[in-house]
């Protein structure tokens, strides 16, 4: 276990009689990035009793979320860092994590030596390793802890969490990350969890495309999409998309699973970065990336990742028939 710097928790740290309350035993936590995933995850941390300070790029959202989950609101990363022993980042990309850490009014300059940053963003392993080296010069530890399970499992605190970093740091943060997830897997040194997360999403993205192509072929043959999904889910063709996405977000035409198309394309780009770095020949992964990227370009910004089905319908020249 690492020794955390001594800092008064951001809030609720002293009782009226001036003695430290029970809550003092929990480290003070900062949470940066209050989006689709960040809000339910921060809520779990607050409910576990951690003194919590939150921050988002949108000041109004920061105030609102802080009020909703009984946390303190920060106005900058630097301000947040002054109050916290452990800081979680849940941001779109590693470049944004770097900006939050080392940019103007950045977090790194205000964290005390001995603090820990847990990057739960789905990030790039190379960038994460570079960030860790820079932070280490100020005696700040980094752990990569990306998640899987989407918004529903973020809400229930049942995320799958992959952990990369040194063993002491991971043991120190284990109770905190356990408030957000039920499956914690240590995958290796710093950056390894970000590599693993990108590979997980590569498998998930490939499963979506092939399942959707099967639905398109079957529809044109005259099969019912609902029946096809049921058969796939009872058979060896089952995957996460057949189980949790096709009926819910494609056949329903809702396309609102809560995970952005741009974020999926980013993750596939990271998986291909790792493939290139390891000199691995990956024709299927490259095609998968091309299709998702083309969907992003064709459909435009602000799309949910399940809208890739609409792009597949476009190139097939027909929709999955839901009659």
Q: Which two tokens stand for residue 68?
A: 């909703």
The C-alpha R_g of the chain, in whole angstroms, comes to 21
The footprint of ligand NDP on this chain (CB under 6 A) covers a number of residues equal to 28
Sign of CA dihedral 49, 50, 51, 55: negative
- Closer Cβ to ligand NDP, 56 or 144, answer by number: 56
- Using the Cα atoms of residue 241, residue 194, residue 107 and residue 54 in order, give the sign of their dihedral: positive
Q: Please count the other Cβ atoms lying within 10 Å of the Cβ belonging to residue 256.
A: 12
d(CA 138, CA 175): 24
**Closest CB to ligand NDP among residues 26, 154:** 154
Binding of residue 124 to ligand NDP (CB under 6 A): no
Query: Which residue in the set 151, 199, 294, 299 belongs to the binding site for ligand NDP (CB under 6 A)?
Result: 151
Q: Which of 2, 14, 79, 92 binds ligand NDP (CB under 6 A)?
A: 92
How many CB atoms lie under 10 A from the CB of residue 282?
A: 16
Q: Which of residues 103-122 bind ligand NDP (CB under 6 A)?
A: 121-122
- Which of 10, 29, 32, 101 contacts ligand NDP by CB under 6 A? 32
Stretch that binds ligand NDP, among 53-61, 134-142, 163-171, 221-229 (CB under 6 A): 53-61
Site string for ligand NDP, 257-276 (x = CB under 6 A): -xxx--x---x---------
User: Which among 229, 303, 321 has a CA at the least distance from the CA of 264?
Assistant: 303
Q: Does 91 participate in binding ligand NDP (rule CB under 6 A)?
A: yes
Query: Which of residues 29, 37, 73, 195 is near ligand NDP by CB under 6 A?
Result: 37
The nearest distance, CB 267 to ligand NDP, in angstroms, is 6
- Shortest distance in whole angstroms from residue 13 CB to ligand NDP: 25
Q: Which of 36, 112, 199, 223 binds ligand NDP (CB under 6 A)?
A: 36
What are the backbone dihedrals phi and psi of residue 281, each rounded to the nearest 5 degrees, phi first?
-80, 120
Among 30, 40, 43, 56, binds ligand NDP (CB under 6 A): 56
| Separate counts of helices (H) and strands (E) for the chain | 13, 9
- In the block, residue with structure tokens 């109004």: 60
Residues 259 and 271 sit within 8 Å (Cβ to Cβ):
no
Answer yes or no whether residue 204 interacts with ligand NDP by CB under 6 A: no
SS (H, E, C) 16-56: CCCCECHHHHCCCEEEECCCCCHHHHHHHHHHCCCCEEEEC
Residue pointed to by tokens 């990309």: 93
Q: Considering the complex, state which of residue 27 and residue 33 has its C-beta at the smaller distance from ligand NDP.
A: 33
Report which residue's Cβ sits closest to ligand NDP: 35
In this complex, which beta carbon is closest to ligand NDP, that of residue 215 or of residue 263? 263
Which residue, 279, 48, 298, 94, is CA-closest to 194?
94
Query: By C-alpha distance, which of 137, 129, 76 is closest to 98?
Result: 129
Among 106, 150, 189, 269, binds ligand NDP (CB under 6 A): 150
Smaller CB separation from ligand NDP, 34 or 131: 34
> CB under 6 A: which stretch of 2-10, 33-41, 173-181, 209-217 binds ligand NDP?
33-41
Which residue ranges make up the site for ligand NDP (CB under 6 A)? 32-38, 55-58, 90-92, 96, 99-100, 121-122, 147-148, 150-151, 258-260, 263, 267
């Amino acid at each position: 276990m690492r020794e955390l710097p001594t800092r008064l928790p951001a809030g609720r740290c002293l009782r009226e009689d001036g003695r430290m309350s029970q809550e003092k035993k929990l480290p003070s936590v900062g949470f940066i990035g209050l989006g689709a995933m960040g809000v339910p995850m921060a809520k779990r941390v607050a409910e576990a009793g951690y003194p919590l300070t939150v921050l988002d790029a949108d000041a109004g959202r920061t105030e609102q979320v802080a009020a909703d989950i009984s946390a303190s609101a920060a106005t900058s990363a630097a301000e947040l860092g002054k109050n916290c022993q452990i800081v979680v980042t849940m941001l779109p990309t590693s470049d944004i994590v770097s900006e939050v850490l080392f940019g103007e009014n950045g977090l790194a300059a205000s964290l005390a030596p001995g603090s820990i940053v847990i990057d739960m963003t789905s990030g790039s392993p190379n960038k994460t390793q570079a960030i860790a080296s820079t932070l280490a010069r100020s005696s700040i530890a980094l752990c990569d802890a990306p998640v899987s399970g989407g918004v529903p499992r973020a809400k229930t605190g049942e995320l799958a969490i992959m952990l990369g970093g040194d063993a002491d740091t991971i043991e120190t943060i284990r109770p905190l990350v356990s408030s957000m997830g039920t499956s914690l897997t240590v995958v290796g040194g710093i950056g390894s969890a970000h590599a693993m997360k990108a590979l997980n999403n590569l498998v998930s993205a490939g499963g979506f495309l092939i399942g959707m192509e099967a639905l398109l072929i079957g529809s044109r043959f005259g099969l019912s999409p609902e029946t096809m999904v049921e058969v796939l889910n009872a058979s060896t063709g089952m995957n996460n998309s057949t189980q949790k996405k096709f009926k819910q977000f494609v056949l329903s035409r809702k396309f609102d699973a809560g995970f952005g198309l741009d974020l999926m394309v980013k993750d596939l780009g990271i998986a291909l970065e790792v493939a290139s770095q390891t000199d691995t020949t990956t024709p299927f992964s490259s095609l998968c990336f091309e299709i998702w990227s083309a969907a992003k370009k064709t459909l435009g910004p602000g799309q949910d990742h399940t809208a890739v089905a609409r792009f597949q319908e476009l190139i097939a020249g027909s929709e999955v028939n839901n009659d």
